[in-house]
Amino acid sequence: MAWYYVIALKLMIKLTFSNDKNTKKFLLSLFNKSVDKEGYIIEEGTNKRVISSDGDEIKLSEFGGIVKGSEIFIKNNIVSLIKYNQRNVLNRAK
C-alpha cells in the first residue's frame, strides 16, 4: 500500500499526493526546503538539516508529512506518529 499525503488548506480543500521523490521535493519546496547530496531535508538558504518530531535529522525517504499549522516534520513510520501523538495531541487534551 502506498503512502499518501493530504494537505488541508484553510478553505477545507484536500489535495492527495503520491509517495514519489519528485512529489515530496515539490511539497518541501512550498515550505522553502530542499534535499542535500546525502538525501537529508534542509532549509533553503542556510542548508541546515531539518529535525523531525523525533529529534533526528530526516531524510527524504523518511518524510511522512508536515503537521498542519507548523513545520513539525513527521517520519513515515508508526513509531514517529505515536510519539508525536503522545507528546502533542494527548498533552493538549489534558
In the structure grid, which three cell numbers stand for residue 8, read together? Answer: 488541508
Report how many domains make up the chain: 1
Arithmetic mean of pLDDT, 16-37: 84
Give exposure, 53-87, as e/b (b: 16+ Cβ within 10 Å): bbeebbbbebbbbbeeeeeebbbbeeebeebbeee
Between CA 36 and CA 43, with CA 42 as vertex, the angle to 5 degrees is 135
For residue 1, what pLDDT band results from cuts at 50, 70 and 90?
very low
Give pTM, 2 decimals.
Answer: 0.66
- 10 vs 45, residue with greater confidence: 45
Q: Which range of residues forms the domain containing residue 77? A: 5-93
